[in-house]
C-alpha cells in the first residue's frame, strides 16, 4: 500500500508536505447563550469574538477576513426602535477599525415581549500589506440600541 501511495520510506516528520505556500483557512463560530449588547461608546466597541483577538498570518502573507453575523434590535420600555451599528475589523489592538461597514437594524411592530427579529450582515476584507496580525471583529451602536446574537469568522492566510 505504501508503495502505491508513493510514500515508502518517507516519514511525515522527516519529509514535510510539499504544500508550503498554500493558503490556510481557519474558522471560528460564536454562539451566545443570550444576545450581547453592543457598546454605544465609539472608542470602546464590543468584540464579537468571545475569546478576543486571533493571531493570523506570517511575514509574507495577506489575511482575508470574512465575518457573518446576526444583529437584533434592543428591547426597550417603549418598544423596539431602529438602530445603526458599525462593525469593523481591528488589527493589532488598534482603537480604530482598518475596515468597517454600517448596518441598519430595523424595528418591527412586534411588542417587546416578542423575540426580536434578526438582521443578518456580512463583511469581507483583505489586509492591504503582508504581515502577521492580531485580528478582532468589533461592533458599536452609533444610534439606537441593538444586540449581537451569533457570528462566524473565516480567516484565510495566503502567501503573496
Q: Cell numbers 434592543 label which residue? A: 74
Residue 37 lies in a domain: yes
Residue 11 lies in a domain: no
Residue 31 lies in a domain: yes
Query: How many domains is the chain partitioned into structurally?
Result: 1
| CA separation for the pair 65, 15 (Å, rounded) | 31
Cβ atoms within 10 Å of 31's Cβ, excluding its own? 9
Residue 116 lies in a domain: yes
Yes or no: say if 134 and 103 are a contact pair by the CB < 8 Å rule: no
Q: What pTM, to 2 d.p., does this model score?
A: 0.79
What is the domain-level CATH number for residue 53?
2.60.120.1340
Yes or no: say if 90 and 73 are a contact pair by the CB < 8 Å rule: no
Whole domain around residue 103: which residue ranges?
A: 19-159
**What does the pLDDT profile of the chain (160 residues) look like in tens digits?**
444 455 555 555 555 555 566 788 888 888 777 888 999 998 899 999 988 899 999 888 999 999 999 998 765 555 567 889 999 999 999 999 999 999 998 876 655 555 667 889 999 999 999 999 999 999 999 988 888 888 999 999 998 7
Residue 78 lies in a domain: yes
Burial 70-80 (b: 16+ CB within 10 A, else e): bbbbbbeeeeb
Amino acid at each position: 500500500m505504501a508503495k502505491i501511495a508513493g510514500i515508502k520510506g518517507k516519514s511525515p516528520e522527516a519529509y514535510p508536505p510539499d504544500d508550503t505556500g498554500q493558503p490556510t483557512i481557519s474558522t471560528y463560530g460564536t454562539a451566545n447563550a443570550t444576545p450581547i449588547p453592543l457598546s454605544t461608546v465609539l472608542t470602546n466597541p464590543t468584540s464579537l469574538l468571545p475569546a478576543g483577538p486571533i493571531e493570523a498570518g506570517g511575514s509574507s502573507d495577506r489575511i482575508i477576513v470574512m465575518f457573518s453575523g446576526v444583529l437584533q434590535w434592543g428591547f426597550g420600555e417603549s418598544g423596539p426602535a431602529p438602530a445603526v451599528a458599525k462593525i469593523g475589523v481591528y488589527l493589532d489592538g488598534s482603537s480604530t477599525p482598518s475596515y468597517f461597514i454600517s448596518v441598519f437594524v430595523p424595528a418591527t411592530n412586534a411588542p417587546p415581549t416578542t423575540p426580536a427579529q434578526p438582521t443578518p450582515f456580512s463583511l469581507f476584507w483583505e489586509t492591504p500589506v503582508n504581515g502577521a496580525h492580531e485580528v478582532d471583529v468589533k461592533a458599536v451602536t452609533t444610534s439606537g440600541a441593538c444586540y449581537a446574537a451569533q457570528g462566524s469568522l473565516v480567516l484565510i492566510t495566503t502567501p503573496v
